[in-house]
Amino acid sequence: MNDFNMEEKDVYKLFNDVRIEESEFDPMDEEVTDIEKQKIKKNLKKKIRGQRKFKTLKYASIAAALGLICTIGIGTISPAFAENIPILNSITQKLNDEFGSHGSYAEYSEIINKPVTSNGVTLTINEIIADDSKLVIGYTIKSNKHIENLETFGLSMFLKIDGKRSGSNGSSVGNYTNDCTYVGSEEIHTDLLKNTSNKVNITLNVDEISNIKGEWDFAFSASKDQLVKNSVVFKPNIKLDFPNSIAKVDKVVFSPIDTSIFISGNYKDKEKVKKNMEVNHDDSLMDYDYWAVYDDKGVELMTKGSGGSSDTNKGIFNVEMQYNKLNKIPKYLTIVPCKITPSAVGGEGVDKNGKEVHYTIKSKKPVEISKTIDGVYPIELSQGKMGKIVIESIETNKDSTTVKYRVEGKAPYFQAQDLWIKDSSGKGVDYKSYDIRKDDSKPNEFVRQFKKLDSNKKYTIFTNDFSNVDFREDLKFTINLSK
């Protein structure tokens, strides 16, 4: 199994923001050339390689990561995962549960279970879920030897829907269950789905898996019926005037697997946006592109991810913000737009000609707040203007260390994710789970599981002051949810 430390896991899960411009796939029904494929792959690999450099800057802010518009997100989970997957259970359900996305994935999955073997590697498409905006594909990769870096593998670049290819984007979680087996779940978002019938014809012509060439060709169909039928859609048509853009809330969708807010808009000065992308490598699709969302009881929704696309030539953008499934549709949602400056200072990439480049990102690193773990509780950690974390207890059992804490402040779930532990040498302790809200009836109380702390070592617990977060309560607005 790949030995990722805690910082790298956070970066993989939250920071990988590879932009795929719609113009790269225009017209959509044309084949993607080998040069274009290599460009996309190189962008992905370079972005990931660049993000690994965050390790040298101590800890990148997880909260800042959540604020970025991500088109490809990567996650890993604990080795215990392999022991907990019943053979007939849903891979997609298990993986998303590990990351706290407790939607009804298993209930709405269609079983495919189609394997294709090429050059000693077997790719199996296990299951699929579809609706009007996304596909969720569960898959397994097996080989007769260990394959490196399957965390960077993605299906979206090989995807066609009803014979058409689009600049799709999404997120991916996965894990090595042993040296020769990797299981993953990829959520792919594309505009092509909204223009299809309820039956979607899908082809995947995969020609490379982590530098192994081959032919893994699939053709199958998926039905949107069940997920669409059991989703509730509201179209509030709210317009927002941000400093650099005009945005509109097109619809809010409550589905059995998540909650989504769809936004479209246009830039007030598209040339300024172009220049900002070129000079500052700012991949934000719109102003204040992280939204803290609260239900009618004031409970903050758990963020699942966000993504979108833009056409800077036309000066337009589309964004989808995702949150966890809600058991009950609230009377309204309250939104606080936020702008989060990344805490990193640089990276690597490729320019429009495919040439490797090094660049500096406009950044602001928040201040770390820490206290020594000495067995005396509660431990209080300030989070600046956002609020504070109060550590109630830290307990170690035979295979893990559990931190129980509550958050007081403006956005408790948002704040709760920025909690980590380091030993006396400054090495971070790996998380065992990203699922931190265990009791919906106590939304400000959290549990964070780490790998087992060594009783012979001294440790420090950390958060940060969120000084890189512009939490715009003055821009707060409400979405009424009534038909």
Report how far residue 34's alpha carbon sits from residue 255's, in angstroms, rounded to the nearest whole number.
37
pLDDT at position 157: 87
Report how far residue 363's alpha carbon sits from residue 341's, in angstroms, rounded to the nearest whole number.
6
- Say if residue 456 is exposed, middle or buried (CB neighbours under 10 Å; 0-12, 13-18, 19+): exposed
pLDDT at position 51: 27
Residue ranges of domains in the chain: 368-466
pLDDT tens digits for 55-106? 222 223 333 333 333 333 444 444 444 444 433 478 889 888 887 888 899 9
pLDDT at position 280: 62
Residue with tokens 């594909």: 137
- Say if residue 264 is exposed, middle or buried (CB neighbours under 10 Å; 0-12, 13-18, 19+): middle
Closest CA to 8 of 99, 74, 93, 70: 74
Q: Quick one: tokens of 117?
A: 């073997």
- Say if residue 36 is exposed, middle or buried (CB neighbours under 10 Å; 0-12, 13-18, 19+): middle
pLDDT at position 309: 80
pLDDT at position 281: 62
Residues 6+ apart with CB under 8 A from 465: 366, 367, 369, 382, 383, 384, 386
pLDDT at position 471: 96
> b/e per residue, 148-177, with b = 16+ CB within 10 A?
eebbbbbbbbbbbbbebbbbbbbbbbbbbb
pLDDT tens digits for 364-380? 889 999 999 999 999 99
Residues 6+ apart with CB under 8 A from 212: 119, 121, 147
pLDDT at position 357: 64
**Number of residues that make up the chain:** 483
* CATH class label, 368-466: mainly beta
Q: Quick one: tokens of 132?
A: 């009007």
pLDDT at position 310: 82
Which pTM value belongs to this model? Answer: 0.79
pLDDT at position 173: 85
Number of other CB atoms surrounding residue 266 within 10 Å? 16
Using DSSP's 3-state secondary structure scheme, residue 292 falls into strand
Q: Quick one: tokens of 288?
A: 């204040």
pLDDT at position 53: 22
pLDDT at position 473: 96
Q: Look up residue 446 and give its amino acid.
A: F
Closest CA to 174 of 81, 54, 42, 49: 81
Report how far residue 66's alpha carbon sits from residue 123's, in angstroms, rounded to the nearest whole number.
31
Report how far residue 201's alpha carbon sits from residue 180's, in angstroms, rounded to the nearest whole number.
31
Query: Digits of tens for pLDDT over the chain (483 positions)?
Result: 333 333 333 333 333 333 333 333 343 344 444 444 444 444 443 333 222 222 222 223 333 333 333 333 444 444 444 444 433 478 889 888 887 888 899 999 999 999 999 999 999 999 999 999 999 999 999 999 999 989 889 998 899 999 988 666 668 888 899 999 999 999 998 888 887 788 999 999 999 999 999 999 999 999 999 999 999 999 998 999 998 899 999 999 999 999 999 999 999 988 888 877 776 666 678 889 899 999 999 999 999 888 788 888 899 999 999 999 999 999 999 999 999 988 765 555 555 566 666 656 677 889 999 999 999 999 999 999 999 999 999 999 989 999 999 999 999 999 999 999 999 999 999 998 888 998 889 999 999 999 999 999 999 999 999 999 999 999 999 999 986
